[in-house]
Every structure is written in structure tokens, then in C-alpha cells.
Amino acid sequence: MRSLLYADSCFALRRMKQYLLVALVIALVPVLLGVSRGSDPLDIPAAFQMMVGIVALYVMLFFTLCASFQADEMGGWERARLTLPVTRRDVVLGRYLFILLSLCSFDLVITLLGVASACLLPQAFPLMRDAFDLGGMLLAGAGSIAAFLALVSLQMPFLFMWGARRASFALSLPALIPLASMVIPKDAVALVARAAIVWVGSWGPWPVLLVCLLAAMVMYGLSALLSCVLYERREL
């Protein structure tokens, strides 16, 4: 499994600069546009902490996930790697481990960038507040890991069952979320949101986050087991 993890890492590291650049452009442009207009007193540190970090993290994860599965199908690597002393289970678990490590690494890098920017940007832009909420930043970072782990848990079994080409719909799953919001009744959404706010209020954000992280990890583990079964049966 180490060899497959290494192969995935080599591929990802070679693309890392472009992923990071694209992610930061996507995340930063709306923020900087708002700052340059100056009309809306944007809460830049909070916006930067929340939006930039989350968006950048998601974009990098999306690229990494797409690219790694698409690379499998280029040049016959998907079949050739099975000639190494690895099993199909190693292939699946290696990819799950790679995505998890990537997610945590990206989150760490983006959080550090966020902390550095939140310290430096108020000096350059007068509209920005001096104070920044480190706790909020870390909360957002950890919460993002839980949310994206849950998302990837839904996507990966399809990708292992059918491959990137046939299961491209799974990669576009996040795009379906806005569509789902149009279908699900607004009253139901409001009810769930109020219950969540009450729950968070009574427990505090960090215990709730811990529960969410644990739940996401369990979901990720179950997804891995399912993927092992599906990949074992797949005709390459």
C-alpha cells in the first residue's frame, strides 16, 4: 500500500502549485472585489477565515480527487498497478488514506495561510478589523474536514465501482446541493437549522464538532469497506 500512496503523492505534488493557485484565485477574488469597492463594510477577517479557507479547501480536494481517479485510467495504470505485490484492497485503502491525508494537509496549509493573512491584511486595508478569531478559523477548518469527509464518503464508492469516466456524476455531487435546496421544503430546512442551533447552543461548538468529526470518520471508514467490496468485483 505504501507504494500506491507514494505514487498518488508524486502525482499530486506535481500538480499542487496549480491547484493552490486556482483555489486561492477562486476564493480571494470575491473578497478583494468587496474590499476594493469599499461600500460594504465587509467583515474581512471572518469572510477570509470562513469563505476563503472553505472554498480553497474544497477546490483543492476536488482537483485531487478528480485527478487521482482520472490518472488511474490513463495509459493502463489502473491495471498495471495490480502487477505490483498489492491487492485490490490495498488499492482502495491506499486511495482513502491518500485523500484523508491530502484533506488534512490542505486544511493545515490553508489555516496557516489564513492566520498569516488575517495578521497582515488589516495593515494593508483600513476597512479590515484588527482582531481575528483564531478559534473560529480552527472551528471552520475542522468543520470543513468533517463536511468534506462526509461528501467524499458518498463519492468514492461510485468511483471505485465504475471509474472516473463512468462515474463522473459522482464528482459533480456537490453541484447538486443547490438543486436539492430547491426541492426540499424550506420549512423542513428551517426546522433542522433551528434544531441544530439549539443543539450547538446547549453543548457548545467544540463538543458538537468532535461528534461531527467522529461521525464523519465512521462514515469514511464504512465507505472504504463498501468500496473494497465493489472494487473486488469490478472488471477493469
Partner 1 sequence: MARCMESSVGTLDLSGEPSDLRVRGLAKSFDGFALKDVSFGVPRGSVVGLVGQNGAGKTTIMRGILGELAFDGGEVELFGQRLSGLDDAALRAVKSRVGFVSSVCAYPGEMSVAQVATMHYLAYPQFDHQLFEELAERMGLLPHDPRPHLSHAARKLVKDLSRGMGMKLQLACALACGASLLVMDEPTAGLDPIVREEVLDIIREYLEPGDKSVLISSHITSDLEHLADYVMMVDAGELLFSCEVSRIEDEMGLAQLRAAELEQVLRADERGFGPLRALRRSGVTALLVADRHAFGRQFPDYVCDPADIDDVMTLMVKGEVI
Residues in contact with partner 1 by CB under 8 A are 2-3, 6-7, 10-11, 14-15, 71, 74-77, 79-80, 82-87, 89-90, 235-236
Do 171 and 65 touch, CB atoms closer than 8 A?
Answer: yes
Distance, in Å, from the CA atom of 47 to the CA atom of 54, rounded to the nearest integer, reads 10
What DSSP letter does each residue of 133-164 carry, written as one string? -HHHHHHHHHHHHHHHHHHHHHHHHHHHHHHH
Question: Rounded to 5 degrees, what angle do the CA atoms 152, 15, 19 make?
Answer: 60
Residue number with CB closer to partner 1 (74 or 188) = 74
Residue number with CB closer to partner 1 (87 or 172) = 87
Do 167 and 158 touch, CB atoms closer than 8 A?
Answer: yes
In the complex, least distance from residue 5 CB atom to partner 1, rounded to whole angstroms: 8
In the complex, least distance from residue 15 CB atom to partner 1, rounded to whole angstroms: 8
Residue number with CB closer to partner 1 (33 or 84) = 84
> Residues for the chain: how many in total?
236
In the complex, least distance from residue 79 CB atom to partner 1, rounded to whole angstroms: 5
In the complex, least distance from residue 77 CB atom to partner 1, rounded to whole angstroms: 5
Closest CA to 66 of 168, 173, 166, 146: 168
Distance, in Å, from the CA atom of 97 to the CA atom of 68, rounded to the nearest integer, reads 13
In the complex, least distance from residue 66 CB atom to partner 1, rounded to whole angstroms: 14
What DSSP letter does each residue of 86-106 carry, written as one string? --HHHHHHHHHHHHHHHHHHH
Residue number with CB closer to partner 1 (73 or 133) = 73
In the complex, least distance from residue 71 CB atom to partner 1, rounded to whole angstroms: 6
Q: Which three-class secondary structure state does DSSP give residue 19? A: helix
Residue number with CB closer to partner 1 (77 or 206) = 77
Residue number with CB closer to partner 1 (130 or 235) = 235
